[in-house]
Structure 1
């Protein structure tokens, strides 16, 4: 096998460190880098993933190892997705010792005010690595910043430009993240992938499907609704049968540093910033337009249709005899259409996606925090349509329509039309 060279570096507070590796398969044949606790030459990449030392030097080592990592398959080995938070730390505790931690370093807005709280930040990566090393478990960092921006962040901005209200977390969790983690699991010789999501895997309609978690408040099955059921045989969600409080208590009993770590944010790439200012930095320009009622009468002015989402009431700046809500936006005319709350009621929703099981009725969840609505289900070419038995308010194109049969996700797709 040909020798492969990898170079990793890291900077912080004006300091810089670098590591160079020459790798033959899974073996390091040459290494150059200061600040590590022991020499790397002669080690496997799996062994190198446990090496500590000066923080910046270990960051540089991680950057190099992640580019070329591979390990011989081992029975029972689990790859564990690590975010640096309490959920992944407890998941690792359950999977250890025959485990390998992996963290995805993802793009985040450098202008965001709270970058340190993002699940993909450099600090979160270091916390994840520390949690692994404390248990004697190897840790690998995959630098996917460019791929994440192209696959998740750019479509988020493009969705708002098109007048939609996209859900980047569902796109990330259901597609991008698991694609990367499962591919890594194969390279790492792991039989299974464990994550700290609050969801379960249930058997319904003769197949494995994503199921709701026991903790309804933390349930993440909606965010995983687009995950292909075909991969679930290799996936484990060990926290799906317990509450968040039980997870923190388990971490505290084990003395894990993550036991009191703050929750990570939704849409982590915003790094705590407002999505409107973020979109402006991504190229969506302010442009004055009309706020109109359903009859086309001008009621006021706005500075960009993409700043508004269906159901929004605040920030309209329109004086009217009754409360008005955003009904929809029109990118073609740069108009924001408003009306009374009852005009937000939808009874039919169309989605691009797939049904995982042949169901005729189910419960549709149309936003992450919305209550499910009973619906009749009609399969279509490339998706499905829903006739809602009870009108749903503020349904937006670009959001995920997750369809449940009991506690199991039996279909999911991106909302394309609302009536």
Structure 2
């Protein structure tokens, strides 16, 4: 592992050692092993989450990226994996939070049963949120890169009608609530509407502040500082690629709402994992520790993808992650009445990410070969200048 990667994953490695060792000392070696197993499961099931997070995090400045790794981890570990399930049980079981916390500490079996009873609401909330994320990607009119062109191009054109994703989301929620929720129709519809409202509200506010240019001035200042630094060092500032638009980093309120948006996405991914973790252990602290370690790695991986520019190099990864999210939303709807093994969820996500990665690698190779051929042809034509002496040609503006 390089120094740069070690810097990003250092805290995750340290927390892993502390968490596993602490579970072994305070609990037992079996608890330590369960913590490690839960961490591995969380990482393997949430790689698509890291890719989606990276598409949002790269629009935020370094300050908010660091906040995602600090405050965001606290929210993910203690908020979403420990406190939020207690709140969900309190709301669905009509019990006080203190009573639910007492159940979690002293009667973990009953707490797990109550949490299982809350699964229809959890699946409906998380499912519609993720489904809307998937739909907005498919109908995004500004997305130039297409993976499955025959499917994505017509949908991109249809996206000119802004209300289409919301209409489809509402219809899908009605279908799930009436046809696939059994005796939980009211619970599913209520939670689904709450999930849809949360998605539209958080995303809408973030886009509103971004559209007002929040962060653009800061980004221009950053560019000016970079150019000045380059001139001070006696260097010429590197030209921007004409094929890649400059990404404007969000700051202020726009970044704050993007951060909130990230946390809700993480919550939507984590709900089902928390419920499923009780099949392995019923100790809420062991579950929170294991899933929390996994959440740390997902956050570190997100920052790594951003810093390395992986999404720009492997252009279809974002597509694969969104298709995996669409599949997860469908699986959550099915799981309201029918149990779906977590291995199925994980394999579906891995399959989409893997196919997207392979397609991205093939795309890079094709373009690299085409550029090499074009460069070779240009060099041949450029030989034999004045005096018949061949001069080396300098490549200018070669497409990536």
Q: Does the TM-score normalized on the shorter chain lie above 0.5?
A: no
Task: Kindly indicate whether structure 1 or structure 2 has the higher relative contact order, using CA contacts under 8 Å at least 6 residues apart.
Answer: 2
- TMscore range, shorter length: under 0.3
Counting helix residues as a fraction of each chain, which structure ranks higher? 2
TM-score, with structure 1 as normaliser = 0.23
Counting strand residues as a fraction of each chain, which structure ranks higher? 1
